[in-house]
Structures are given as C-alpha cells and as structure tokens.
Amino acid sequence: MSSHRMISNLSLTGFMGVGKSTLGRFLANSLRYQFVDTDEMIEQRSGKPITKIFEDDGEDSFRSLEQEIVDEMVSWKRRVISTGGGLITKNNNLERLKAYSFVVCLWASPETIYHRIKRQSHRPLLQTTDPVRRIEDLLEERSVFYKQSDYMVNTDKRPLRVVAQLVTHQFHQALNHCRQTRTGG
Ligand code: S3P
C-alpha cells in the first residue's frame, strides 16, 4: 500500500445489487463509524429519486452529482461509504477514493446479481429487455476498475456476517500499515 494514503474511511464499491448498503450499515455499526450512501445523498440533495434524475436530467448530470460528493471526501473521517456501482468508473474517482479510504469491492456473478435485483425498478441502467445481458456487458466494461480496489470479496455464497469479518480484518490491517508507515515503525 502506498505511503501517501491517509486511510480514514472505508469505501464499498461493486456492481448494483451486490449488497453494498446492507454490508455498509452493518460495518458502520460494528466499527462505530458513520454510514453514508452516495445514492442516498444525491437523492436527498436533488429532492428526487435516481430514476427521475436519469429521466429528467440524464446520466451525465447524475455523474456530476457523484463527482461533487467525491470532491467533499477529503474532509471525511470515520465513515463507511457505500458508493453507486458506476462511481469509480468515472474521471479519477477511484484514485481519489483510494486517497481517503480503504476501497473494498463486493463481487457477485451476473446470475446472483440478476436474482437480487429482478424485482426492483429503481435502477435505470437495468431497465432493458435483456437485463442479464446488460449486467454481463457492464460487468465486463467495469471490471478493470473494480479489480483495482484494495480488496475484492465474492459475496455469491458467503453470508453477510462472514463478508463483514473478512472486510473488517483487511481494513484493520490496512489501518495498521498506514499507522506504521506514518510513525516509521
Ligand atoms: C449505478 C448504480 C446505482 C446508482 C445508479 C447508477 C451504476 O447504485 O448509482 O443507478 O452505474 O452502476 P447501486 O450500485 O447502489 O445500485
């Protein structure tokens, strides 16, 4: 891990439907960190749901709102940040997220993702006639970003508690590493 990083937060990334928010709330509770969800922040600030933002203003406008939030992260401490599935794929968001946080990517197969999201309608990018194909295409396109996370964990067959343990262990190791680097230990 590079020494210029100031890890003060834990970020969760990964495709839609992999369970970032659920795990994020769980981890925030156990670490006693504040939980923040970039999608929720955007909805609160714009006063409308994400589907409506995409409909009225387009995806680019949504991405700019994500960008504004990443700009604010420099002052964040002790937060578990659940990020929208496309956030790290735009501009240099991944690099910036890594500057302020330990970045964990939750992974799942297209089948698992489809199974989890098929009854939901709040994800504009998946409102197509062939959502499985769309999931496969987007996963392929985005995996180059997801794979640059600090830690990737497959959530397909693991219960939440186990994923949380694995992530917590990795996060504490990263925090220790940063502390040692800073104190020269
Ligand atoms: C998106 C993922 C969504 C939300 C928006 C776009 C994406 O968040 O940000 O619909 O590009 O993958 P979740 O990953 O929390 O569903």
DSSP 58-105: -HHHHHHHHHHHHHHGGG--SEEEE--TTGGGSTTHHHHHHHHEEEEE
> How many other C-beta atoms lie within 10 A of the C-beta of residue 140?
10
Kindly state whether residue 125 falls inside one of the protein's structural domains.
yes
Q: What is the pLDDT along the chain (185 residues), one digit of tens a residue?
A: 665 688 999 999 999 999 999 999 999 999 999 999 999 999 999 999 999 999 999 999 999 999 999 999 999 999 999 999 999 999 899 999 999 999 999 999 999 999 999 888 889 899 899 999 999 999 999 999 999 999 999 999 999 999 999 999 999 999 998 888 877 76
On whether the CB atoms of residues 152 and 146 are closer than 8 A, the answer is: yes
Q: Does residue 81's CB lie within 6 angstroms of at least one atom of ligand 1?
A: no
| Ligand 1 centroid from CA 12, angstroms | 12
Residue-level pLDDT at 23: 98
| Ligand 1 centroid from CA 175, angstroms | 28
The Cα 109–Cα 15 span in angstroms is 10
Kindly state whether residue 4 falls inside one of the protein's structural domains.
no
Q: In terms of Cα–Cα distance, which of 159, 177, 128 is closest to 19?
A: 159
Structure tokens at 105: 């990517």
Kindly state whether residue 112 falls inside one of the protein's structural domains.
yes
On whether the CB atoms of residues 16 and 109 are closer than 8 A, the answer is: no
Residue-level pLDDT at 179: 83
CATH number of the domain within which 66 lies: 3.40.50.300
Kindly state whether residue 181 falls inside one of the protein's structural domains.
no
Question: How many whole angstroms from its chain centre is CA 172?
Answer: 18
Residue-level pLDDT at 121: 83
| Ligand 1 centroid from CA 85, angstroms | 4
Kindly state whether residue 25 falls inside one of the protein's structural domains.
yes
Q: Does residue 110's CB lie within 6 angstroms of at least one atom of ligand 1?
A: no
User: Which residue has the least CA distance to atom 11 on ligand 1?
Assistant: 86
User: Which residue has the least CA distance to atom 15 on ligand 1?
Assistant: 84
Kindly state whether residue 116 falls inside one of the protein's structural domains.
yes
Question: Structural domain of residue 129, as residue ranges?
Answer: 9-173
**Alpha carbon distances (Å) from 139 to 49, 66, 72, 74:** 24, 20, 27, 28
Which atom, in ligand 1's list, is nearest to the CA of 38?
9
Residue-level pLDDT at 185: 65
- Write the DSSP symbol of residue 23: H
The Cα 177–Cα 37 span in angstroms is 26
Number of domain units in the chain: 1
pTM value surpassing 0.85: yes
Kindly state whether residue 184 falls inside one of the protein's structural domains.
no
The Cα 177–Cα 185 span in angstroms is 9
The Cα 174–Cα 98 span in angstroms is 12
User: Which residue has the least CA distance to atom 10 on ligand 1?
Assistant: 123
Which residue carries 């795990």 as its tokens?
A: 23
Kindly state whether residue 93 falls inside one of the protein's structural domains.
yes
User: Which residue has the least CA distance to atom 12 on ligand 1?
Assistant: 85
